[in-house]
Structure 1
Amino acid sequence: MTPRIHEPFAKRGGIPLVEKLVHDIDEQLEQTIDAGERARVMAIVRQCLTATLGRPESRAADVENRLAVSYLKPSEVIAQGLVAMSQATLYRAVEDARFYCVTPRGKAIGRAFPAWQFAPPVPELLAPVLRQMTDLPSSEIHAFWVTPVDAFDDLTPAEVLAGRAFESRVALSAAQRGHLAQAANERQGRVIAQLAALPSRSSDLIS
């Protein structure tokens, strides 16, 4: 997976950058609104900028909370304790649209499980979406999950469903953080809506 990512300038700064931006924005507003209203607006601006740029420890925690981009063999899923299932039960879970697997790269047969789907809270949110994809080949199912979406500000449906970014993503914009911070049921609903909006789904509805 190769998400289209642009690292924002925020990485250069922390608190000094926040103060510079607050000063610059305040100067721009000085001739536009009165002092009392400007003070109220700038308090909101400072709060938002500090939340996004001013806490390096939060950014470090965010990196640790990323989704894996790796693929796992069925035996690895079991050995790592990602599911409380036997291998046969894991295969049945795929048939029941609780998880999905793909054919390993470079091979004609076999099963590989994208690791992201076992990260909390994904297992409890995934099935309602997968059940609407049972008519699709596994390659198209995986492509849906890992393809960046304009409506999600270039996040993928997998990231939105999980509320967590992929470990391969360099940085998150404020807009992307907003998507990930939504309640789980809201994120799930938006992913289902995105699936329904795919051209192939739209043509099915028309026909």
Structure 2
Amino acid sequence: MELASKHNHAGEKADLRALVNGQYTGDEHALIEKVAADLLAGVSARAGGKPGARKIAGLSSEAVRKEIVLRLAEWLIRDNGRAGDARPSCLPVARWSPEKVIDHTGISKSTLYRGDHAQFYSVVPPGKKNGRAYPAWQFTADVPSHLPHLLEILRSNSRMQVNTFFMSEQESLDDLSPAEVLAGMPFEDRLTVVPAQERMLALPARARLDRIVALARMEVADLD
């Protein structure tokens, strides 16, 4: 039971980090409710679970739980439904070092390296023969929740081939790149977005993902 409790708390911490970084894809309010209940249970346990512990500062445990939920929501969830900065309007073109990815996402170094080419991908930094640099676009909006499925399809491709696939403009995508269509927004260095491209980017997330999945499968088939 203790191990299970530690595991659950570790999962909550990871989810909260994702929420703070704007990468949590679940129900934010359900997560806040769960965290608040666990916090209240911890306070009660430390108080020995005595009847008097059911009230804090004259409030019932339910009132305290609601207050915790309210405060956590105020701190962590913004009006746009995500914590942290507002949803970006374009994709970054930068490449991040492992340290910057860790700082941005809150994941550990071991998790980052284990997830390379599975949850996200890296390329060799410019001017170097080895090392890792992570294209920043893949940590934007809801891309992290869709990318693992695509990387599974592209698993036989090299890191550079994966990056080339995502970054190259495709005629079938109205001259947008798979990265842009997957995220539903253009790269920050794209000077103009024509009406056809705007319509492509405005498609529902499922429709955009389906298009990139089809292209990824064609990519793998062409390399066989």
TM-score where L is the length of structure 2:
0.59
Percent sequence identity over matched residues?
38
SS of alignment partner, residue 197 of structure 1:
helix
1:86 aligns with 2:108: yes
Amino acid at match of 1:68: P
Once residues 92 and 138 of structure 1 are traced to their aligned partners in structure 2, the CA distance between those partners, rounded to angstroms, is 14
Once residues 132 and 196 of structure 1 are traced to their aligned partners in structure 2, the CA distance between those partners, rounded to angstroms, is 7
Amino acid at match of 1:86: S
The alpha-carbon distance between structure 1 residues 151 and 104, as it changes in their structure 2 partners (threshold 3 A), is same
Amino acid at match of 2:92: A
Residue by residue, what CA displacement relative to the aligned partner does 1:147-185 show, whole Å, maximum 9, x if unpaired? 000011110000000001000100111110111111111
The alpha-carbon distance between structure 1 residues 169 and 109, as it changes in their structure 2 partners (threshold 3 A), is same
SS of alignment partner, residue 131 of structure 1:
helix
The runs of 5 or more residues in structure 1 that have no matched partner are 1-63
Equivalent residue, structure 2, for 1:201: 221
Q: For residues 113-124 of structure 1, what are the structure 2 equivalents within 5 Å? A: 113-124=134-145
Count of matched residue pairs: 137
Residue by residue, what CA displacement relative to the aligned partner does 1:58-90 show, whole Å, maximum 9, x if unpaired? xxxxxx6110001000001122x2x23011111
1:66 aligns with 2:87: no
The runs of 5 or more residues in structure 2 that have no matched partner are 1-87
Equivalent residue, structure 1, for 2:58: none
* Structure 1 residue 203, shift from structure 2 partner: 5.9
Once residues 149 and 88 of structure 1 are traced to their aligned partners in structure 2, the CA distance between those partners, rounded to angstroms, is 35
Structure 1 residue runs of 4+, over 2 Å off? none
* Structure 1 residue 196, shift from structure 2 partner: 1.9
Once residues 131 and 105 of structure 1 are traced to their aligned partners in structure 2, the CA distance between those partners, rounded to angstroms, is 26
TM-score where L is the length of structure 1:
0.63
Equivalent residue, structure 1, for 2:36: none
* Structure 1 residue 202, shift from structure 2 partner: 3.8
Once residues 141 and 114 of structure 2 are traced to their aligned partners in structure 1, the CA distance between those partners, rounded to angstroms, is 20
* Structure 1 residue 120, shift from structure 2 partner: 0.8
Equivalent residue, structure 2, for 1:174: 195
Amino acid at match of 1:170: L
Equivalent residue, structure 1, for 2:65: none
Aligned residue among 187, 191, 201 for 2:212: 191
Aligned residue among 148, 152, 156 for 1:135: 156
SS of alignment partner, residue 116 of structure 2:
helix
Q: RMSD in angstroms over aligned alpha carbons? A: 1.3
Amino acid at match of 1:159: E
SS of alignment partner, residue 178 of structure 1:
helix
Once residues 200 and 183 of structure 2 are traced to their aligned partners in structure 1, the CA distance between those partners, rounded to angstroms, is 11
Equivalent residue, structure 2, for 1:160: 181
Amino acid at match of 2:110: A
Amino acid at match of 1:73: S
Once residues 92 and 184 of structure 2 are traced to their aligned partners in structure 1, the CA distance between those partners, rounded to angstroms, is 13
Higher relative contact order (CA 8 A, sep 6+): 1
SS of alignment partner, residue 215 of structure 2:
helix
